[in-house]
Amino acid sequence: MGAVELRFTPLTSHVRTARMVASTLARRSGLEAEALDEVRLAVGESCARAVAIHRSLGLIDPIVVVFDDGPVAFSVQVEDRGPADTPEPEPGLSLAVVTGLVDDVVIERGPSGHRVRMVWPSPHRAGSEVAAAGVVAPDVLPA
> What's the average model confidence in pLDDT over 26-42?
92
Residue type, 44: G
- Output the 3-class SS for 109-142: EECCEEEEEEEEECHHHCCHHHHHHCCCCCCCCC
What's this model's pTM, rounded to 2 decimal places? 0.82
> What's the average model confidence in pLDDT over 26-48?
93
Does 134 have pLDDT greater than 80?
A: no
Domains of the chain by start residue, with CATH: 2-133 (3.30.565.10)
Question: Confidence band (pLDDT; 50, 70, 90) for 126?
Answer: low
Per-residue pLDDT tens over the stretch 60-96:
999 999 999 988 899 999 999 998 888 777 766 778 8
> What's the average model confidence in pLDDT over 18-22?
96
